[in-house]
Amino acid sequence: MPSGNPSKKKCHALLPTAGTGSRLGGELPKQFQQLAGKPMLCYAIEAFSNTPQVESIWIGVSPGFIDNPILQTIANGAKEIQFLPTGGPTRQETVRNTLAAMLNAGIAEDDWILVHDAARPGITPALIEKLINTVQTSNAGGILAVPLADTLKQADLDSVIAGNIPHSERTIPREHLWQAQTPQMFGLKRLHDALESAIRLEADVTDEASAIELAGAKPLLIEGAARNFKVTHPADWDLMQLLLSSATR
């Protein structure tokens, strides 16, 4: 468990931004495509820039993208932003590489890091502050998540409700089931070491909390919001376009 006075630790945003957006498609990776008038990445940068407790924003991009002029237009005037060529073959490797660069840059080992998908442009300063204010007093680390509202079904290979398993296992009880969102907030060195270990074990961790759980801890679940969904498929893009075109931020 990280030591030190939780209130003295600074908070920094880490935006893994090195994906190819293959499930969405398009000429550019989705985070750089125009969404409601600006590149999708701008929305997350603005939300963290407009959150007073967030000191700096670190953005891990593919090494091949680091000199792309689009990055300078995106960074224009926002809070202390660092673009880093730390993109890796998987999301968790991008996050691990960016955390290592932050340690090398002298960020304090027990400062808080909020890892947020560039693909979740619906994030707001209010949601970020809710996470910070809850986690900072606990030292445990935590994530935004939403309680599952739909009934979950187990499918078989023919995409029908699985008949080859006991009926009691076909409909998965949804009490205590949550859908993980981001930001996910943990101590810098603690998260780096947990991800390093998970990658070495070739564990399939698709979020930061999974690596922390693997290390034996139990992160807090803090209720997020439906608007903070991840833009993955074309239908998500269309829905987020509507939301951002009409919503007040």
Ligand X SMILES: Nc1ccn([C@@H]2O[C@H](COP(=O)(O)OP(=O)(O)OP(=O)(O)O)[C@@H](O)[C@H]2O)c(=O)n1
Residue 230 sits in the site that holds ligand X (CB under 6 A): yes
As a dihedral over the C-alpha atoms of residue 227, residue 231, residue 237, residue 241, rounded to 10 degrees, the angle is 40
Question: Among residues 39, 88, 122, 219, which is the contact residue for ligand X, using CB under 6 A?
Answer: 88
Q: Which stretch, 29-37, 179-187, 189-197, 214-222, contacts ligand LQXTBERG (CB under 6 A)?
A: 179-187
Dig out the tokens for 127 from the structure.
Answer: 């949601």
Binding-site size, ligand X (CB under 6 A): 23
Strand order in the sheet with 178-187: 81-84, 54-60, 11-16, 112-115, 178-187, 142-147, 220-223
- Is residue 74 within 8 A of residue 41, CB to CB? The reply is yes
Residues from 138 through 197 that contact ligand X (CB under 6 A): none
Residue nearest to ligand X (CB): 19
Q: Which does 187 bind (CB under 5 to 8 A by kind): ligand LQXTBERG, ligand X, none?
A: none
Residues from 95 through 134 that contact ligand X (CB under 6 A): 117-119
Dig out the tokens for 6 from the structure.
Answer: 């939780």
Question: Among residues 147, 206, 223, 234, which is the contact residue for ligand LQXTBERG, using CB under 6 A?
Answer: 206
What would the x/- binding string for ligand X be over residues 19 to 58, using CB under 6 A? xxxxxx----x-x---------------------------
The dihedral sign for the CA sequence 149, 116, 22, 37:
positive
- Is residue 144 within 8 A of residue 182, CB to CB? The reply is yes
The dihedral sign for the CA sequence 218, 219, 220, 225:
negative
Dig out the tokens for 149 from the structure.
Answer: 């509202």
Residue 30 sits in the site that holds ligand LQXTBERG (CB under 6 A): no
Q: Which residues bind ligand LQXTBERG (CB under 6 A)?
A: 91, 117, 180-182, 206-207, 230
